[in-house]
Structure 1
Amino acid sequence: MYEEFFGFKELPFNVTPDPRFLYRSVSHRDALAYITYGVFQRKGFVAMTGEVGVGKTTVVGAFIDLFEPSLEVAFVFSTKFPFEQLLFLICKDFGLSADGLNKAQMLLLLNEFLIRQNEDNRNAVLIIDEAQNLSPEVLEELRMLSNLETRDRKLLQIMLVGQPELETLLNMNELRQLRQRIPGICRISMLNREDVENYIRYRLDVAGGRGNGVHFTSDSFDEIYHYSNGIPRLINILCDRVLLVAYVADTRVVDGRLVREGIRDLESPGVSSGRHRVAKPRA
C-alpha cells in the first residue's frame, strides 16, 4: 500500500525470511561462519539456537544462497514424528522415492544417495527446524544416522536449529554421546540499540527507500528498540505498521510519536504482534 509513497521497490519489513535482507550483526555473522565451518569441515553435526524471531531461518537461508551449487539440502520442519516417519520425510526431501519402504530399506536408500553425492563432490545437508521438539529417542537415532561415512568424512551433515530449549535437550545426560559430536552450540542473540538502528537502515537500503525521503528519527529508534527487545521479527512487524501510519498521516518522517501510535495499533484488541513472548518492562 505504501511502497509508491516512500519510493520502495519492495516492502522493506516483510516477516518472511529473505536472505537478501539479512543484517549481519556480530551474532548473525558468527552464526553464519559457524554453520559454514561445521558443514564444510564435515563435522557431522552443528546446532544453532535463538529466541523466536531472532533470525535463525534467515541465517540458514543465507548459507544456502551462498553455497547452493555445492550442496544437496533436505529441510524437515515437522519434528514431533517417530524416527521412522522422520526418515521418510528426509528421503522425500532429498528427492528419493521411499513409499512402502521399511526403516532398513530407507537407510540403505539414503546411504546409496549420500555416497553418490560424495562422489559428485556435493555436500548433503539435513536441516531440522524446531529441533527443540525432537524426542531424545529421535535425537539418538539421528546420532546413529550420522555414522553414515567413508573412511575420512561424514556423508551427511545434520544442522539442528531451534529455540533455547534445544540446548537443555542436548545437555541431557542420556544424549551425552550426541553432545560430544557437536562442535559447540551457536547462540544467536538479540540486537542491541545500535544494531536495531543499523538493521532498519539496512532493510530500507535493500528495499530502495533510503534516498526517497523516509527518515527515522533517533527517538523512533529508541521506541522501536524498547518495544521489540531487539527481536528482528518484532522490529519488522512494528516498522511495517509505523510506515502505514506515516503514509496515512502523509509524512515521510517517522518519529517517536508515530512509533508509539503504531504500538497502540498493534496492542489494540484483536491485533496480535507476538510481542507477549519476549516483552520486558522498560527501566
Structure 2
Amino acid sequence: MYEAFYNLKVKPFELVPSPDFLFLSRSHRKALTYLKYGITEKVGFMLLTGEVGSGKTTLIRNLVKGLDSNIVLSKIFNTKVSSEQLISLINEDFGLDVNGKDKISLLRELNDFLIEQYAKKHNPILVIDEAQNLTPELLEEVRMLSNLETDDAKLLQIVLVGQPELKKVLARPELRQLRQRISISCHIYPITRAETEEYIFHRLEVAGNR
C-alpha cells in the first residue's frame, strides 16, 4: 500500500532477488569482471562466495544476461540430491531428455551434447548455486565433469556459487584436485557504509521514486 503514498511503481525492497535492482558495489563489480573473463577465456572452474543476502544469485543472473548469444546455460539450485539426480538435473536444464536414463547413459549423452555444442562454437556453462550443500562426493562428481574436454579446450565451464562454508568444504584433503582446478575465485564482501547509502537510493530510484 505504501507504494502509492511514496509515488513508487514497485516495492523497493523484496526478499526475492531481482536483476532490475542489482546494485554493483566495488566487490560486485570485481567479481562480475572476473567471472566474465573466466567464461570468455574458458578457464574451466570458477568460484563465487558470499554471505546470505550479499547478492550472489542476482549477480549471477546479471552475468548470464550480459553474456554472448553463444552461451548455453544449465543452472542448478537444488543441491541436496544424489549423484545420479545431479547429473539428471544438469542434463534436463541443458534441454536433454532424462526420462528412464541411468547415470551411465546420462553422462554419455551429456558428453555427446557438449561435443556437439563445441562443434557449433557454443560455450556451455554450468552454474551450481547453493554449492555449499554439495557433499564432498558430489563435488568430486562435478570435478569429473571438468574432464570432459577436447585436445585444446574444456567442453564445460563450471561456476560454483555458495556461502563462505563452501571454502571450508573445498579445503578438505580429498578435494585437493578440485581446489587446484579453480582458476578464478571471487568473494562478495559486505558493502561499506557509504555504499549502503548509495544502495538505498539506488533501489528507491529503480522503484520509481524521483
The TM-score bracket by the shorter chain reads over 0.9
Quote the Cα distance in structure 1 between the aligned partners of 2:133 and 2:204: 35
Q: What corresponds to 2:47 in structure 1?
A: 47
Q: What corresponds to 1:140 in structure 2?
A: 140
Quote the Cα distance in structure 1 between the aligned partners of 2:118 and 2:186: 26
Q: What corresponds to 1:6 in structure 2?
A: 6
Aligned-residue CA RMSD (Å): 1.3
Contact 1:36 1:63 in 2 (8 A): yes
Quote the Cα distance in structure 1 between the aligned partners of 2:128 and 2:41: 19
Deviates more, 1:6-15 or 1:133-142: 6-15
Q: What corresponds to 2:92 in structure 1?
A: 92
Q: What corresponds to 2:128 in structure 1?
A: 128
AA aligned to 2:86 is L
Q: What corresponds to 2:206 in structure 1?
A: 206
Change (3 A) 1:15 1:70: farther
AA aligned to 2:3 is E
AA aligned to 1:140 is E
AA aligned to 1:149 is E
TM-score using structure 1 length: 0.71
1:32 positional shift? 0.8
Cα distance per residue 1:92-140 (max 9 Å; x no partner): 1111001111212111111111122222222111111110111111111
Quote the Cα distance in structure 2 between the aligned partners of 1:109 and 1:199: 45
Contact 1:91 1:97 in 2 (8 A): yes
> What pairs with 1:112-191 in structure 2 (closer than 5 Å)?
112-191=112-191
SS in 2 for 1:185: strand
Quote the Cα distance in structure 2 between the aligned partners of 1:202 and 1:126: 31
1:28 positional shift? 0.6
Quote the Cα distance in structure 2 between the aligned partners of 1:20 and 1:123: 25
Unaligned 5+ segments in structure 2 are: none
1:142 positional shift? 1.0
Contact 1:167 1:185 in 2 (8 A): no
Q: Which runs of 4+ in 1 moved over 3 A?
A: none
AA aligned to 2:94 is F
AA aligned to 1:119 is A
Q: What corresponds to 1:81 in structure 2?
A: 81
Which structure's residues are more often helix, by fraction?
1
TM-score using structure 2 length: 0.95
Quote the Cα distance in structure 1 between the aligned partners of 2:116 and 2:11: 41
Contact 2:34 2:184 in 1 (8 A): no
